[in-house]
Homo-oligomer: A and B are copies of this chain.
Amino acid sequence: MTEEARGATRRLPATTDCSPAARDARLARLGEDGHLLEAISGVAPDMAPEALAGSIEGFIGFARIPLGVAGPVRIRGRHADGDFIVPLATTEGTLVASFQHAFNVINRCGGAVAACSRQLVGRAPCFTFTDIATAMKIVEWLPTQLPLMQAAAATTSRYCRLQSAKTSLVGNTVYMMLEYSTGDAAGQNMVTLATQAVCQQLLPLMPHAPESWLVESVLSGDKRASAQAFLGARGRNASAEIVLSSRVIGRYWRSDAAGMARSWNQATVGAAQTGAVGLQGNVANALAALFIACGQDVACVSEATTSITRCELTAQSDLYVSVTMPNLIVGTVGGGTFLPTAKESLGMLGCTGPGTAAKFAEICAVVALAGELAVVGAMASGAFAAAHASGGRKGRGTGDA
């Protein structure tokens, strides 16, 4: 029995129990699993300012965001395999409770399947030339330089490797999409430095000098929702799925498989009228709460929400639900992951050693899946507003199973 799997057998107090005793019971339960959580629980002193050099300037202290746990949730992923207690930092009342509710549904159905299918981060410099004819020559020349570009990129980091380079011509300007692997790091800074090195390598060799150039042309999709997420590489790509029977749906929401699918159809058509990129409910909720807890770059919520949620009847009249996040800028080293509360949160998920970024991406996908189940379930049972009414500022969330 793995450490992760063991956890499933002992239950946490009801999520809605906000007594000190319930908090202590949760901490004790996590402590049994080897997670001391001294920073999160406030026992450990705050970090010294000097230790934050390089991570923050103008430092005066810390924002404190309430952190709750939901789980365990069973995940049957390629990299994440077991039962997980998930840390979520938020001030949106009922959020953690609604994830707990959805985790219960997932567990009852045997757990969520997940897979991280790609780990690449993009950067996209551009070069403007005098005219299209010159730019075309560069478009033809650039592919011949791939080995030199890869060598230049490799000098900047032990982990950052240039995997491919694609070009597009827009008038006299050549845009180049560079796709890198970045190990377990989110990799945004890594790929910026590598791209700088690639450009410094290319510029003196170019048959024609550009009139101007940018190391990042916004083509990479950095910090914005865009279709680029699906068609190029901008972070890890992870999917999670679950199949629910009408019987299970009826037990947890006032609906059935057909009702859930029908509600999602209505929402899909709503989304289509807005010009939204992607097709999802509220995955931003899951990501923001996880990212704050786990030391991720929270600004990347803007691009990571570019997801696709599916919610369809199967041939057996069950409900198939999946979430695909093509654009997860997440990492388990670098960035804010060294902060004490982030380290403890990642530790809870078993995502601190080498090779754990894909595992973390799969957990993100499953948590997002749970959030989508909660949204569609609320839609279908007409409980959307009711959930907000009974919970929120009044202290009563929707119940645990």
Instruction: Scan residues 234-250 of chain A and give those whose CB is less than 8 A from a CB of chain B.
Output: 237, 239-241
**What are 17 A-B contacts defined by CB distance under 8 Å?**
A23-B61, A54-B393, A60-B67, A60-B69, A63-B64, A91-B297, A92-B335, A115-B133, A132-B239, A171-B323, A175-B273, A219-B273, A225-B225, A227-B273, A262-B313, A285-B299, A288-B301
Known: A277-B276, A292-B65, A342-B63. A269 touches B384 (CB 8 A): no
Query: Which residues of chain A from 158 to 186 have a CB within 8 Å of any chain B CB?
Result: 168-173, 175
- Please classify how large the interface on chain A is, using the bins under 10, 10 to 19, 20 to 34, 35 or more: 35 or more
Kindly list chain B residues whose C-beta atoms are within 8 Å of the C-beta of A259: 212
Provided the pairs A227-B275, A282-B223, A284-B301 are in contact, do residues A263 and B46 lie with their beta carbons within 8 angstroms? no
Q: Chain A contact residues: over half helix, strand or loop, or mixed?
A: mixed
Contact A68 B64 (CB under 8 A): no
Let me know if B61 and A37 touch, CB within 8 A.
yes
Within 8 A of B (CB), among A117-173: 117, 124, 126, 128, 131-133, 136, 139, 168-173
Q: From A398, which residue of chain B is reached at the shortest CB distance?
A: B57
A312 contacts B by Cβ under 8 Å: yes
Q: How far is the CB of A232 from chain B (nearest CB, A)?
A: 6
The answer to whether B169 touches A324 (Cβ under 8 A) is yes
Chain B residues, CB < 8 A from A53: 18, 395
A18–B100 alpha-carbon span in the complex (Å): 40
A285 and B100 alpha carbons, distance in the complex (Å): 30
What is the minimal beta-carbon distance from A39 to any residue of chain B, in angstroms? 7
How many copies of this protein are present in the complex? Answer: 4
Q: Tell me if A332 counts as interface (CB < 8 A to partner B).
A: no
Docked-complex contact A228 and B231, CB < 8 angstroms:
yes
Q: Which of chain B's residues has its CB closest to A283's CB? A: B223
Query: Within 8 Å CB of A1, what residues of B?
Result: none
In this assembly, does A224 line the interface, its C-beta being within 8 Å of a C-beta of chain B?
yes
Q: Mark A296-322, 1 if CB is under 8 A from B, else 0.
A: 011111110110101011010000101
- A223→B48 contact, CB < 8 A: no
Contacts of A104 in B (CB 8 A): none
Instruction: Return chain B residues, CB-CB under 8 Å to A356.
Output: none
Interface flags, A175-206, vs B, CB<8A=1, else 0:
10000000000000100110110000000000
A386 at the interface (CB under 8 A from B): yes
